[in-house]
């Protein structure tokens, strides 16, 4: 196969890996926006927090000999690490909503936004002071193999990240479209008061949203740690902005839009890095955002907002 | 069945309800009429828990429900069909109806009620898979009422069901209200269309700037000179 195809294939896989992380994080922005019409600026910190919880869980559990004794045990170790980190990050999300946003539910819209920025600064600085100001290596306990497919080098890590991301998305999509609670979430995002009149406990739905979003964002943080090999207190900032962008490109409030936007942004960035310049990759990505917003202000999958009667 | 006793409800510092007392007996259609801003919708919203009264009490079947959040009031089978219909625009007609039965677990009962409301509004049956937001205004109102019925209401509260609808559809809606009542549903109806409302109602209350100024039987109010002048547009 030609060299040209090798580069394209390589960048497509790199882009999907990166895009998967963006998409998982973008889902949190879009879920919260869909229900509260609020941009949760503290969400980027869930990426960081999830990575730290993941690291500590991995360190703690890998001291138990059983988990490193065999292949299946190692797999169990990783599944447990993800589950624990996602649940803990989800709980943090619920706590943040309860104490930083809920008291401001009927305040002017700027108030919860400022509160969110405060939470973000608080979490970043807490991680800086209590853990470390430097980047910490993130251990990878399995052997990363590289496959050469059609001239592109694809690592088992990338495959793991892409497959797990898609799996998490399928679970979320099924939950939202098929279950009773998922239906309650959709109803709440379409008309909160009417959902309340149907018997939906709005506060519970909002808490649930603040569990799911951070849990997914936390998973993305662990992926980032595993992929890049280290984590840092401010690691959420750039992916946070990118993922927010992805959510907007896809149509904020729309779950499939956030997934599409995340993958699209990751792919564009990777291709721009290969074919134009690594220095310009963010310029390209944000130029695309501007173009999308000019022609489709509601985002790619966003519905044009109908006037509420 | 429902006893609303001297409720005062505020929007910020504005006192929207200045001591409203109304009663609904089982099996009745009771209507609240009055001009814009008289407090009709605010009364319904206070009963359904979307607003909390500052003073006063609301009792349903002997149980205090004032100050409860709306999902808890719904659990008592006090169901409000909100003003402006408020159906879920991105959900299919079927899903909207399922949302009406959100708190119920009795699958057979739900299926039975689904048949009932679809018989009541055959137009909805043709549009089960259609998104709620694509329905016409009249169909949306039918869906809103049908969705309310899916909760098996003991008290059904309708907020301005005729608003913005063509006269033909308004007749259909009021005909339905009558039929639902004859089939045993107690109804509290808020309407600006006082003439239509008083024709179907057993009793009515006239509200003015947050207070009840007049009450009586439906036909009695319909004959009342003050009502005729102010709300029925007669000179």
Helix residue ranges, H only, chain A: 3-36, 43-62, 71-96, 110-130, 156-178, 180-190, 192-197, 202-228, 237-250, 255-275, 281-295
Q: Taking 70 as the threshold, does the pLDDT of residue A97 lie above it?
A: yes
Q: Is A146 on the interface with B (CB under 8 A)?
A: no
Map A19-42 to HEC letters.
HHHHHHHHHHHHHHHHHHCCCCCC
More confidently predicted of A296 and A26? A26
Query: What is the Cα–Cα distance from B73 to A160, expressed in whole angstroms?
Result: 48
Direct distance between the N- and C-terminal alpha carbons of chain A, in angstroms, rounded to an integer = 59
pLDDT tens digits, A255-292: 999 999 999 999 999 998 888 888 888 888 788 888 98
On the CB side of B206, CA atoms within 13 Å amount to: 21
Contact residues, chain B, for A202 at CB < 8 Å? 69, 71
Q: Taking 80 as the threshold, does the pLDDT of residue A4 lie above it?
A: no
pLDDT tens digits, B81-109: 999 999 999 999 999 999 999 999 999 99
Interface of B with A in 79-118 (CB under 8 A): 79-80, 82, 84-91, 95, 98-100, 102-103
Q: Taking 90 as the threshold, does the pLDDT of residue A128 lie above it?
A: yes
Q: Taking 60 as the threshold, does the pLDDT of residue A2 lie above it?
A: no
Contact residues, chain B, for A188 at CB < 8 Å? none
Domains of chain A from N-terminus onward: 2-306 (1.10.3470)
Asked whether A32 and A217 are in contact (CB, 8 A), the reply is: no
Place of tokens 């009450």: B215
Residue B76 confidence (pLDDT): 97
Residue A307 confidence (pLDDT): 38
Place of tokens 């000999």: A65
Nearest C-alpha neighbor of B142 from the set B118, B112, B166: B118
Averaged pLDDT, A43-62: 96
Phi and psi torsions of A30, nearest 5°: -75, -35
Percent of chain B with pLDDT over 90: 93
Report residue B65 as tokens.
Answer: 């429900």
Q: Taking 50 as the threshold, does the pLDDT of residue A306 lie above it?
A: no
Phi and psi torsions of B144, nearest 5°: -60, -40
Residue A3 confidence (pLDDT): 56
Closest residue in chain A to residue B104, using alpha carbons only: A199
Query: What is the Cα–Cα distance from B174 to B177, expressed in whole angstroms?
Result: 5
Region of residue B62 (phi > 0: left; psi between -120 and 50: alpha; otherwise: beta): left
Asked whether B205 and B215 are in contact (CB, 8 A), the reply is: yes
DSSP string, chain B: -EEEEEEEEEETTEEEEEEEEEEE-TT-EEEEEESTTSSHHHHHHHHHTSS--SEEEEEETTEE-TT--HHHHHHTTEEEE-TT----TTSBHHHHHHHHTTT---HHHHHHHHHHHHHH-HHHHHTTTSBGGGS-HHHHHHHHHHHHHTT--SEEEEESTTTT--HHHHHHHHHHHHHHHHTT-EEEEEES-HHHHHHH-SEEEEEETTEEEEEEEHHHHHH-HHHHHHHS---
Asked whether B156 and B185 are in contact (CB, 8 A), the reply is: yes
> Mean pLDDT across chain A, nearest whole number?
92
Contact residues, chain B, for A196 at CB < 8 Å? 49-50, 69-71, 74
A136 burial (CB, 10 Å; 0-12 / 13-18 / 19+) is middle
Averaged pLDDT, A20-35: 96
Beta carbons of A199 and B75 less than 8 Å apart: yes
Asked whether A119 and A100 are in contact (CB, 8 A), the reply is: yes
Query: Residue A27: which residues within 8 A CB-CB, separation 6 or more?
Result: A169, A172, A212, A213, A216, A217, A247, A255, A258, A259, A262
On whether ipTM exceeds 0.95, the answer is no
Place of tokens 């709620």: B132
Contact residues, chain B, for A195 at CB < 8 Å? 88, 99
Query: What is the Cα–Cα distance from A157 to A175, expressed in whole angstroms?
Result: 27
Beta carbons of A190 and B90 less than 8 Å apart: yes
CA B232 to chain centre: 21
Place of tokens 């439906």: B218
Residue A168 confidence (pLDDT): 96
Averaged pLDDT, B98-125: 96
pLDDT tens digits, B164-190: 999 999 999 999 999 999 999 999 999
Residue A303 confidence (pLDDT): 66
DSSP string, A99-124: IIIGGGTTS-THHHHHHHHHHHHHHH
Residue A309 confidence (pLDDT): 34
Beta carbons of B48 and A201 less than 8 Å apart: no
B69 burial (CB, 10 Å; 0-12 / 13-18 / 19+) is middle
CA B196 to chain centre: 14
The partner residue sitting opposite A198, judged by closest CB among B50, B90, B100, is B100
Residue B209 confidence (pLDDT): 93
B128 burial (CB, 10 Å; 0-12 / 13-18 / 19+) is middle
Q: Taking 90 as the threshold, does the pLDDT of residue B4 lie above it?
A: yes
Q: Taking 70 as the threshold, does the pLDDT of residue B59 lie above it?
A: yes
């Amino acid at each position: 196969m030609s060299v040209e195809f090798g580069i394209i294939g390589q960048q497509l896989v790199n882009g999907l890996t990166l895009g998967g992380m963006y998409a998982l994080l973008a889902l949190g922005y879009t879920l919260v926006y869909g229900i509260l019409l609020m941009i949760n600026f503290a969400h980027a910190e869930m990426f960081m927090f999830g990575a730290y919880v993941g690291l500590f869980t991995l360190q703690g559990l890998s001291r138990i000999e059983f988990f490193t004794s065999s292949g299946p045990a190692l797999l169990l170790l990783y599944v447990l690490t993800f589950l624990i980190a996602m649940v803990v990050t989800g709980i943090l999300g619920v706590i943040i909503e309860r104490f930083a946003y809920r008291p401001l539910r009927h305040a002017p819209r700027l108030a919860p936004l400022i509160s969110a920025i405060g939470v973000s600064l608080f979490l970043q600085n807490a991680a800086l002071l209590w853990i470390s100001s430097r980047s910490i290596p993130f251990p990878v306990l399995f052997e990363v193999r590289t496959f050469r497919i059609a001239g592109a080098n694809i690592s088992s890590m990338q495959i793991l990240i892409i497959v797990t991301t898609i799996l998490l998305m399928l679970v979320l999509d099924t939950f939202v479209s098929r279950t009773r609670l998922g239906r309650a979430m959709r109803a709440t995002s379409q008309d909160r008061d009417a959902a309340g009149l149907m018997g939906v406990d709005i506060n519970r739905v909002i808490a649930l949203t603040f569990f799911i979003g951070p849990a997914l964002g936390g998973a993305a943080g662990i992926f980032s740690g595993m992929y890049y090999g280290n984590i840092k207190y401010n690691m959420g900032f750039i992916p946070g902005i990118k993922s927010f962008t992805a959510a907007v490109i896809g149509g904020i409030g729309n779950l499939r839009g956030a997934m599409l936007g995340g993958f699209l942004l990751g792919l564009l960035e990777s291709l721009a890095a290969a074919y134009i310049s690594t220095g310009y990759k963010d310029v390209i990505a944000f130029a695309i955002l501007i173009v999308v917003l000019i022609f489709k202000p509601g985002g790619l999958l966003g519905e044009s907002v109908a006037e509420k009667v | 069945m429902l006893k609303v006793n001297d409720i005062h409800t505020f929007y910020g510092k504005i006192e929207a309800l200045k001591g409203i007392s109304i009663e609904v007996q089982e099996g009745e259609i009771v209507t609240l009429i009055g001009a814009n801003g008289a407090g009709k919708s605010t009364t319904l919203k206070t009963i359904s828990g979307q607003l909390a009264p500052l003073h006063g009490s609301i009792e349903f079947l002997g149980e205090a429900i004032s100050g409860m959040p709306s999902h808890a009031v719904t659990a008592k089978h006090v169901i409000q069909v909100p003003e402006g219909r408020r159906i879920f625009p991105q959900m299919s007609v079927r899903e909207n109806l399922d949302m009406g039965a959100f708190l119920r677990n009795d699958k057979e009962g739900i299926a039975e009620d689904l048949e009932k409301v679809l018989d009541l509004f055959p137009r909805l049956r043709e549009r089960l898979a259609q998104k709620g937001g694509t329905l016409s205004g009249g169909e949306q109102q039918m869906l809103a009422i049908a969705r309310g019925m899916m909760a098996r209401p003991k008290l059904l509260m309708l907020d301005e069901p005729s608003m913005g609808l063509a006269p033909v559809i308004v007749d259909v809606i009021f005909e339905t209200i009558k039929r639902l009542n004859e089939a045993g549903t107690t109804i509290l109806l808020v309407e600006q269309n006082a003439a239509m409302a008083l024709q179907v109602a057993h009793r009515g209350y006239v509200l003015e700037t947050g207070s009840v100024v007049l009450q009586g039987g439906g036909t009695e109010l319909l004959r009342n000179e003050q009502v005729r002048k102010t709300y029925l547009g007669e000179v």
